[in-house]
Structure 1
Amino acid sequence: MSTWTKTADPGAPPGADAFLSVRDLRVRFSTEDGTVHAVDGISFDLARGRTLGVVGESGSGKSVTGLSVLGLHDPRTTEVTGRILLDGQEVTGAREKTLERLRGARMAMVFQDSLTALSPYHTVGEQIAEPYRRHTGASRREARRRAIEMLGRVGIPSPRLRADDYPHQFSGGMRQRAMIAMALVCDPGLLIADEPTTALDVTVQAQILDLLEDLRQEFGSAIVLITHDLGVVAEIADDVLVMYAGRVVERGPAAEVLRSPRHPYTRGLLGSVPRLDGDVEEDLVPVPGSPPSLLDPPSGCAFHPRCAFTGEVGGTRCADERPKPPGGRGAACHLTADRARALFAGRTRPRPGRGDS
C-alpha cells in the first residue's frame, strides 16, 4: 500500500489510509537578519505500519518538519501555515493543551542528541514512567513496572536495575534505546526519529535500526525517519522524501529512488556515498558548492546554482521557473524522467550550464 496520494496538490484531501497527512506546510522563522524560509510548501501522506525516510543535507528542513508535526516551534518567533492532520485531527493551530494530550499518547519523537534530550537530574526509569502516568493515570508502581518492561523490550540488559541509573551512566547506544522506550511507552501511532543513529558506531547503528523495524511491526506505528544517511534509508524505509532548501525535490518508493534517481540533487547524494560493489580506487564525488541561505533562497529551482545539468534544460528556465512539486513517484526538476534516467546512467554527458564549475 502506497503512502502517497496521486497528486501533490496542497488542496488535495488526505489519503484514505493516511494516519499522518501534511498539506502545503510552510515554516518561517523571524530573525534579526530577516525571515528564514525553513520549509516551503511540502505535502505528503503516511499510513500506519509504514516508514518514511526524509533525507537531505543539514539545513534542508528535515528536523523543522518533524518539530512542526509535534507543534514544538515557538509561536512567538515561528509562523507555521498549511495543514497537519494526525488521524484526521488538526494539529496546526491547535491549543497547547491539545498538543500536550497528543504528544506521547498519539505521536512521539526520538531526538537526535539523547544526552541533552534526557534530564540529568532524574533516573532513566522515572523519565520513561512520567509520560505513561500523565497519559494513562497509572500509579507510580504501575508506571515503574511499565518503564522496566519497555527498557527490556528495547534491549537494555538488567532493566530492573538500569531503570534506577541516570543518563550519564548509559552508553550512547543505550541512551538512544531509552529514548525510543520513552517515545513508545504509550504506544503512539506516529514515531518521528530524528537522526537516531548519529554518532553511534556501526554495530550499534545496526541494532537501533533492527529495533525500529521490530517495533514498527509490533506496534504498527507510522515512522518518519529523518536522516542524512542514505544507507539507513535503504535499510528500513518504505518510501523517501528528498528535501533541499525546504522543498521536496524527489519522492517515491525508497528502492526506486535509490536505484534510479530523477533529480540531480538525489544523484549527487548517491554519488557521494561509497558502494560495497564499487571500485575501491574510485574517488567519491561530493555535491559541489554549499546549501543556499534560506534568508534569500535562489529563484526558480533552488538547486540550480549547484546543478551540472542546467545546460540540458536550456536558457534560463532553471533559474527563472520553479519546478512543480512532485506527485507520486517523481522529481521537482525541469528534466524529463527519461532524460534524467539517460543522463544519470552515464550514457550522455551534461552540456555546460550556469551551475557548472
Structure 2
Amino acid sequence: MTTQAQSQASTDRSSSGPFLSVDDLQVRFRTEDGVVKAVDGLSFDLEKGSTLGIVGESGSGKSVTNLAILGLHHRKATEITGSIKLDGEELVGRTDRELEHLRGRKMAMIFQDPLTALSPYYTIGRQIGETFSKHTGASKKEARDRAVEMLTRVGIPQPSLRVDDYPHQFSGGMRQRAMIAMSLVCDPDLLIADEPTTALDVTVQAQILDLLKDLQQELGTAIIMITHDLGVIARTAHDVMVMYAGRAVERGTVREVLKAPQHPYTWGLLSSMPSLGGPLDVPLRPVRGTPPSLINMPKGCPFNPRCDYQEQAVGGKCSTERPLLAPATGHATACHLTLERQQDIFINQIQPRLG
C-alpha cells in the first residue's frame, strides 16, 4: 500500500468513529471457586486529545479493563469477549505478536508502582531506549540519545548523567517521571495511567499531573486515568466513568459527575473525601459494607446491600433487577431511583455534607 493510500485509510478509520471504542467488554477468570466476572458488559468511547477518568474501589474492574485493552492478560486463564477498537482496528482476538507491535508504539501504560515496574538490573536509559529500538530499529546510540531527550522532556535534572543511573538511585517522583518517559518514548496515541500519583507527596503529585497535561497538549494523546482520588479526576479528566462490580454505574463529564452526581455509590465516594469548602463539623461518611463477590454477585443491583436509598426506588427493583446504564451518551446512571428522586436526595441530603 502506498503512503498516500495508508494516510487515506487512517483518515477513513478516524472519521468512522471514536479513537478508542470499547463495546460490551467482558473479562472472566476461571478459578477453583468459580468464574470471576471481573468486567461485565462494559462500554465506553474515548477521543484523541481527551482524558477519561475511571474511578471506583479496588476490585471494581478498572485495571482489568485496561490490561485487556493492552492485551496483557494471561490468555489461558482469561476469557475476553466483546469489542475493543483502537483507531478502527479490532484488538480482541489479536495474537500476542500483533499486540506487541502496537504496545509502546500505538498504546502504552504507566504502571501503578514504578519501583516494581522498572527492572533493578538495567539502567533507566537502557530501559527507555529498549522500547524505542524495538519499534524503530534505532541503534544503541540513537536509543540512548532518545532516552536523554525523553528524560529532558519529563523534567529530570542532568538527563545526560542520570540516564546511566539505576532505578534505586531515583526518588519516587523521578521514577514516576522515568516511567512516563518510557511510556511516551514512541509517542503513542493512547496512554493508560494506572494510579500514576500513588505514594507521591502532594507537590510531586501536582507536578506529575501537570506534566501529563502538557504532554497531552503537545502530542494530542488520548489518556485513560485510573485512580481512587476524585481530586485527581477533577484536575485532569474531561469525562468520568464510575465503576462498581465490573460495570459502569455512572458516566458523564467531570462537571456533571462531580457537581451533580446521580448514583448512590458516587455519593458515597464523594462523602468519604475531605472537602475544603465543606462544613467542618460534618464527619466523613465512608461507603458502608464491602464490595460484592465477583463470583456470587448479589441479585438485582450489585450495590443494593450497601445502598441507603433502595427503599425509595420505584417497584422495589433494587433486589430483583440489575439496572442498565442508559442513555448511550450524556450524563447516565445505572440506578432504579428516578431522576427526580436522585436530584432531590442529592440537593437535600448529600450536597449539604459536601459544601
Q: TM-score, normalised by structure 2?
A: 0.92
Deviation at 1:295, TM superposition (A): 1.2
**Residue 114 (structure 2) pairs with residue 114 (structure 1):** yes
Deviation of 1:16 after TM superposition, in Å, equals: 4.0
Equivalent positions of 1:338-357 (< 5 A) are: 338-346=340-348
CA distance in structure 1 between the partners assigned to 2:208 and 2:340 by the alignment:
38
Q: Could you give the per-residue CA deviations for residues 267-305 of structure 1, whole angstroms, max 9, x where no partner exists?
A: 110111111111223200111111001111112111011
Q: Distance in 2 between matches of 1:82 and 1:114?
A: 31
| One-letter amino acid of the structure 1 residue matched with residue 75 of structure 2 | P
Cα displacement (A) at 1:316: 3.4
Q: CA deviation at 1:246?
A: 0.3
Identify the range of structure 1 (238-247 vs 312-321) with the bigger mean alpha-carbon deviation: 312-321
The offset of 1:224, in angstroms, is: 0.3
Q: Which of 331, 336, 339 is the equivalent residue of 2:338?
A: 336
Q: Is the 8 A contact 1:15 1:21 kept in 2?
A: no
* Cα distance in 1 between the residues matched to 2:127 and 2:14: 35
Seen in structure 2, the aligned counterparts of structure 1 residues 264 and 93 have a Cα distance that, compared at 3 Å, is same
Offset, 1:339: 1.5
Match for residue 5 of structure 2?
A: none
Report the counterpart of residue 234 of structure 1 in structure 2: 234
CA contact (8 A) 1:14 1:45 kept: no
Counterpart in the other structure of 1:157? 157
Q: TM-score, normalised by structure 1?
A: 0.92
CA distance in 2, matches of 1:317, 1:263: 15
CA RMSD of the aligned region, Å?
Answer: 1.6
Question: 1:315 and 1:257 mapped to 2: Cα distance?
Answer: 26
Structure 1 stretches lacking a partner, 5+ long: 1-12, 349-357
SS of the residue 1:175 aligns to: helix
Query: 1:320-331 residue pairs with structure 2 within 5 A?
Result: 320-326=320-326, 327-328=328-329, 329-331=331-333
Q: Secondary structure at the match of 1:316?
A: helix
Aligned mates of 1:179, 1:139 — CA distance in 2:
21
Secondary structure of the structure 2 residue equivalent to 1:268: helix
Q: How does 1:110-189 map to 2 (within 5 A)?
A: 110-189=110-189
Correspondence 1:61-140 to 2 at 5 A: 61-140=61-140
Unaligned runs of 5+ in 2: 1-12, 351-355
| Percentage of identical aligned residues | 63
1:93 and 1:84 map into 2 onto residues whose CA distance is 10
Q: 1:14 to 1:132 in 2, by over 3 A?
A: closer
Q: What residue in structure 2 maps to residue 354 of structure 1?
A: none
SS at match of 1:200: coil
Which secondary structure state, in structure 2, belongs to the residue aligned with residue 143 of structure 1? Answer: helix
1:124/1:166 contact within 8 Å kept: yes
Partner Cα distance (2:245, 2:16) in 1:
30
Q: Matched residue of 2:348: which SS? A: coil
Give the residue type in structure 2 aligned to 1:186. Answer: C
**Aligned partner of residue 292 in structure 1, secondary structure:** coil
Matching residue's letter, 2:135: H
